[in-house]
């Protein structure tokens, strides 16, 4: 009898444990299904910015009608080893739906954004910098544009209702203006250089031959995903508070090479002809110059 009672108690304990375990999995599944939006933050040596960024993003989403409960935030870190991992895990422990992916075998902003998008649970994907130059208060507005049917959305530093901090260096303004002018035949975006942009997951998944090398993933995805409609959200572009700028001479060279590839993708027939004419014109000028000398 004692053995029978013990066996019965064990059976009830096993059934209760199985029920609780199944219930836990159902809860996790329902939470995953509730995620509609994913914010991806590529980062390297940004530990000083992550806590204010993440808390401000979720505060702003909470104020925008409770969007925080339908949003996850993914930090993609290129093995900074500066405490970023511990900061994000501590915030997650406080109940914020954020996580960090630490990459040890790959580097680069564009590939970091794509890794985050690939890991995303939401159908509306948003990228923003970790340095707080992209205002967390605007995140909800960009996500709402995607929710309302836009295939693509950008936060723009240019156009009506926008401004750039007076502390932003003049040479950076000149470089930005020149880069935008060079990209104009490829895209109608007022700010194709921005790192503050969003895309529908379906359009992202349908992008062809995406180049993950370089910094200008916004323009890359706009061109390669075949975007037909987009929205623009103006914002005040601030100055970096922590960390260092990523603009270098190598980045500028990569951008020029990137433009060349995008022109060949968008205009596969016309671009080689234009290049050929340019080469012939340069040779003609060289011939004229040499004829003057000799």
Model pLDDT, residue 271: 65
User: φ, ψ for residue 107 (rounded to 5)?
Assistant: -135, 160
Is the backbone of residue 227 left (phi > 0), alpha (psi -120 to 50) or beta? beta
pLDDT of 8 strictly over 60: no
pLDDT of 20 strictly over 60: no
Model pLDDT, residue 178: 80
Asked if 77 and 43 touch (Cβ cutoff 8 Å), the reply is yes
> If you average pLDDT over residues 131-158, what whole number do you get?
95
Task: Return mean pLDDT, the chain.
Answer: 81
| H or E element, residue 126 | strand 124-127
User: How many of the other CB atoms lie within 10 Å of CB of 70?
Assistant: 17
Model pLDDT, residue 256: 79
Q: How confident is the model at residue 140 (pLDDT cuts 50, 70, 90)?
A: very high
Model pLDDT, residue 21: 31
> If you average pLDDT over residues 266-277, what whole number do you get?
71
Q: Measured at the alpha carbon of residue 278, what is the angle toward residues 276 and 284, in degrees to the nearest 5?
A: 105
Q: Which tens digits make up the pLDDT trace of 106-126? A: 998 999 999 999 999 999 999
Model pLDDT, residue 7: 44
Q: Which tens digits make up the pLDDT trace of 53-90? A: 999 999 999 999 999 999 999 999 999 999 999 999 99
| H or E element, residue 215 | none
pLDDT of 266 strictly over 60: yes
Asked if 46 and 80 touch (Cβ cutoff 8 Å), the reply is yes
pLDDT of 161 strictly over 80: no
The model scores a pTM over 0.85: no
Farthest-apart Cα atoms in the chain, separation: 118
- Quick one: 138 exposed, middle or buried, by C-beta within 10 A (0-12, 13-18, 19+)? middle
Q: Which tens digits make up the pLDDT trace of 164-176? A: 656 666 766 777 7
Asked if 230 and 187 touch (Cβ cutoff 8 Å), the reply is no
Q: How confident is the model at residue 212 (pLDDT cuts 50, 70, 90)?
A: confident
Coil, strand, or helix at residue 65? coil
Lowest mean pLDDT among 5-14, 96-105, 268-277: 5-14
């Amino acid at each position: 009898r004692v053995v029978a009672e013990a066996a019965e108690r064990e059976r009830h304990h096993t059934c209760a444990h199985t029920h609780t375990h199944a219930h836990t999995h159902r809860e996790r599944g329902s939470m995953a299904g509730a995620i509609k939006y994913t914010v991806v933050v590529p980062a390297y040596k940004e530990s000083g910015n992550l806590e204010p960024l993440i808390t401000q993003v979720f505060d702003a989403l909470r104020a925008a009608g409770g969007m925080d409960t339908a949003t996850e935030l993914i930090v993609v870190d290129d093995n900074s080893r500066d405490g970023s991992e511990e900061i994000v895990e501590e915030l997650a422990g406080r109940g914020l739906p954020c996580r960090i992916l630490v990459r040890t075998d790959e580097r680069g902003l564009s590939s970091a954004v794509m890794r985050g998008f690939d890991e995303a649970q939401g159908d509306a994907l948003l990228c923003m910098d970790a340095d707080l130059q992209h205002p967390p208060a605007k995140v909800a507005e960009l996500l709402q544009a995607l929710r309302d049917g836009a295939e693509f959305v950008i936060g723009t530093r240019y156009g009506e209702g926008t401004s750039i901090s007076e502390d932003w260096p003049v040479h950076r303004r000149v470089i930005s203006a020149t880069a935008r002018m060079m990209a104009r035949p490829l895209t109608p975006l007022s700010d194709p250089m921005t790192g503050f942009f969003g895309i529908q997951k379906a359009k992202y998944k349908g992008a062809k031959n995406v180049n993950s090398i370089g910094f200008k993933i916004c323009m890359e995805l706009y061109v390669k995903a075949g975007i037909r409609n987009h929205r623009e959200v103006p914002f005040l572009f601030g100055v970096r508070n922590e960390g260092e700028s990523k603009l270098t001479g190598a980045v500028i060279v990569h951008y020029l090479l990137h433009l060349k590839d995008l022109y060949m993708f968008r205009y596969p027939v016309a671009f080689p002809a234009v290049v050929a004419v340019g080469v012939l014109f340069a040779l003609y000028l060289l011939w004229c110059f040499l004829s003057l000398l000799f």
